[in-house]
Structure 1
Amino acid sequence: MRHVCMLAAMLVLIIGSAGAVRSAEIVRLVAGEGFYPQMFLERGQPRGYAIDIARAVLEEAGYDVHVEVLPWARAQIEMLKHGAVITGVSKTQDRIDAGFLFTDIVFSDPTVLIAKAGTTMGFETAGDLHGLVVGIQRGASYGPVFEAARPHMIIEEDDSKEQRLRKIVAGRIDLGVFSGTGPAYLLFASQSLGLSREEFKIFEKPLEFDLLHMAVSRDSPRADGMIEKLNSAIVKLTLDGTIERLHRAYGHGF
């Protein structure tokens, strides 16, 4: 009888534990499409270090995660209007005013300039970009240095880094702005688009380092509590090296 009681007690504990796991809150994590190697689709599956890092942070904070990769403008709307968490987003005053509530900094990426090989153009400061036709991702922000120089450039928007590279080769833009991109990305592009690394010039000096966050809607009833949990998880995963390991996993460095 004693053994039967012990078995029954164990079953209660197991069932209770399973119920606790099942009751974890499911969070929609949204990311931008076409931001290799940060966030992209590969054979229909979400990939990229901004996604991997955000998933790890959310799981450390106790959430179950469902990932969706969407056009960047739509991803921001899903966060603002429909309760999703967004990853790989830089903090700007416009976004704060729109209702973004940001976590602490999760990771940073260089903002890189790429032009057609053979260009005689030089780059030392943002002032060198004045008057140029510059390609950027639609809805993207690349940090305060770029934003301050934006009114002095002719901006050509697109929906992916791949479109930007094609415009560079075709001479439609003077250069493109890319976040988190190095030679590994150009190797990827040459394989997927039939382009060659030798067709491009990467300027060695980054425009700046873009500080990337996760964010939720300020109007969400769970916003403050969630941000507190996410910030605690970010600290833990920074200290134990998880974020750095995931950040380096795609070999995108210079």
Structure 2
Amino acid sequence: MVRRQRPWSGLTSRGTTRSSPHRIPRSPGLQRGDTSRRQGILLEGSAEELGRRKRDTPEKVQINGGGALQPKCLASATTSPQTSSPPTESTTMADKSHPTTMDQILQEITTVSRRIEGMDASITSLTLETNSMRAEIASFQSRVTGLEQRMGLVEAQTTMSRDRDQDLLYLRSKLTDMEDRSRRDNIRLHGIPENEEVADMQSFLSSALPKLTSLDFDPPIEFQGAHRVGPKRSGNP
């Protein structure tokens, strides 16, 4: 932090004294008759005052050999006009290289734009492929759903077939039992010559059975069916 000091403050051996901003401190080497030196200090003080008013910042002071405070940097009353320096070679080269730099920047921008366009094309292609994959996945899902439904139907039919097989086994057992029970009333006659029956085996048995058994069947026996048994095959018991 810079502490601001009021200009034209002087220090003496007796202590610190403050003077008016318009009063110029007198150094030990300055006499009242030395008008030229006094005018120079007045001129310098006026320039410093103008600079202070413009910048609104006090200048630092330094102590000279006699102990009086003098401005460190005194602005001259007259300012020299600023002269424009001729363009140097480096400035000319920079001006010449400026269009080249702009061209390079434009070229880089064009390159980046092309890369971005290529990336856009790649992204578009990836989007299309993704949409195609999504459509295929949806088709696969529908097929899988159809297969699941068909498998459900097949399982139901398999269950029904198993039930039918069980029913068939049960019916077969019942049929076998009924056949066995019906065979209890069957009569097998042996020793009847061939061609004894004329045409109707049932009529022949109705008349021949009482004679063969010496039994009187009253009422006569009703045959549901009658037939000859074929000869035994060789090799069979």
Structure with the bigger percentage of helix:
2
TM (norm. structure 2) is: 0.24
Structure with the bigger percentage of strand:
1
Higher relative contact order (CA 8 A, sep 6+): 1
